[in-house]
Amino acid sequence: MNNILDMLLSGNNGRAVSDLSKQFNLPEAQTRSAMEDLIPALTRGMQNNSTQGPGMDDLLNALRTGEHAKYMDDPTTLGNSATTKDGNDILGHIFGSKDVSREVANRASKNSGVSSAILRKMLPVVATLAMGALSKGVFGGNNTNNRATNNAQAGGILGTLLDSDRDGSIWDDVLSMAAKTMLR
């Protein structure tokens, strides 16, 4: 499992799963299953985006200036229309098109048993949670965890995003990104 998914499933004692289940009228097991499919797709999208052009800078800037941690701190905000708008903006940045978002929902539907129509509505909300988890993992947010835990999570989360070839080392990937930037 990836670090973002772990944070979401364990954060606030699984409150996000419970609130999403209520919002979309699903059993918690189905919501959890949907998240287990959606979060890795979002993480891969962030990873792909962060290796192209100014993608990593854009991601870090969004984490630094956005207020994404609030979605983890107060999952009751997940039902707000502003949350859905923020989530759709995040998806546009990560995937680039609604077609990719629809395909992610369709694939997750096959694995989770949740209808793709519900998952298309859930995906923007889950995207805000993913950014919230990433924000808290990288910058700590208003997290009640101690500083050492935040630092360990930040390394794991950023390491996951930076290790695009999944060889266990981020250095070759970072050097490749730096070389691409210098050659522009």
Most confident of 147-156, 160-169, 173-182: 160-169
How is residue 120 written in tokens? Answer: 């298309």
Prediction pTM value: 0.73
- Residue that is written with structure tokens 């990937």 in the block: 173
> What is the number of H-type helices and E-type strands within the chain?
10, 0
Phi, psi of 25, rounded to the nearest 5 degrees = 55, 50
* Least confidently predicted of 7-21, 51-65, 125-139: 51-65
In terms of Cβ atoms closer than 10 Å to its own Cβ (0-12, 13-18, 19+), residue 120 is middle
Q: Tell me what the mean pLDDT of segment 132-161 comes to.
A: 54
Q: What is the domain extent for residue 78?
A: 3-182
Per-residue pLDDT tens digits for 69-85: 888 888 788 889 999 99
35 Cβ neighbours under 8 A, 6+ residues apart: 5, 8, 9, 17, 20, 126
Residue 52's SS3 state is coil
Per-residue pLDDT tens digits for 107-144: 999 989 999 999 999 999 999 998 888 887 776 654 33
- For residue 57, what pLDDT is reported? 75
- For residue 41, what pLDDT is reported? 92
- Residue that is written with structure tokens 């502003």 in the block: 82
Per-residue pLDDT tens digits for 20-48: 999 999 999 999 999 999 999 998 888 88
Q: How many domains does the chain divide into?
A: 1
- For residue 135, what pLDDT is reported? 80
* Least confidently predicted of 92-101, 132-141, 147-156: 147-156
